[in-house]
């Protein structure tokens, strides 16, 4: 059977939206359970850390460029640079490292 691309797109969109919408609409109160609150407090840090490394090394042509960008990003963020500054400087570091003749 021939499948319709538009139906595929509709299925994808519906599932993607429902996943995001359900918790925001269903959880209306502040959660009082200490452990559940703590869990949700740590979720962003855990998930963003897990998604950053080692993925950053696979985003660039040369893994070392991603690694250098990671180190630069950690130092810059530690020093208090803004979101935009960190993002742009990470790109610059990755770009410059990939220009090095050793790669």
Partner 1 sequence: MTTENKICFRHGMRDGSPIALGYFAVAFTLGIAARNAGLSSIQALIASALNNASAGEYAGFALIAAGSTYVEMAVMTLVVNARYLLMSCALSQKLKPDTSLRHRMLIAYDVTDEIFGICVAQPGYLNPWYAYGAIVVAIPGWALGTFFGVMMGNVLPTRVVSALSVGLYGMFLAIIIPPARKNRVIAGVVAVGFAASFLVNRLPLFDGVSTGIKTIALTVALALAAAVLFPTDTKSSVGALDSENASHSP
Q: Which of residues 21-50 bind partner 1 (CB under 8 A)?
A: 21-25, 27-32, 34-50
64 near partner 1 (CB under 8 A): no
Is the dihedral angle over the CA atoms 70, 76, 81, 85 positive or is it negative?
negative
Closest approach of Cβ 101 to partner 1, in Å? Answer: 14
CA atoms within 13 A on the CB side of 79: 9
- Which parts of 5-24 interact with partner 1 (CB under 8 A)? 5-9, 11-17, 19-24
100 near partner 1 (CB under 8 A): no
Closest approach of Cβ 102 to partner 1, in Å? Answer: 15
- Which parts of 78-97 interact with partner 1 (CB under 8 A)? 78, 80-95
């Amino acid at each position: 059977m021939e499948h319709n691309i538009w139906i595929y797109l509709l299925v994808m969109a519906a599932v993607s939206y429902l996943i995001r919408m359900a918790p925001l609409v269903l959880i209306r109160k502040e959660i009082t359970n200490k452990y559940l609150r703590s869990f949700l407090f740590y979720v962003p840090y855990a998930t963003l850390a897990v998604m950053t490394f080692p993925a950053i090394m696979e985003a660039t042509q040369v893994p070392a460029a991603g690694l250098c960008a990671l180190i630069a990003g950690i130092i810059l963020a530690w020093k208090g640079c803004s979101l935009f500054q960190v993002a742009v400087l990470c790109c610059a570091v990755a770009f410059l490292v990939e220009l090095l003749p050793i790669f």
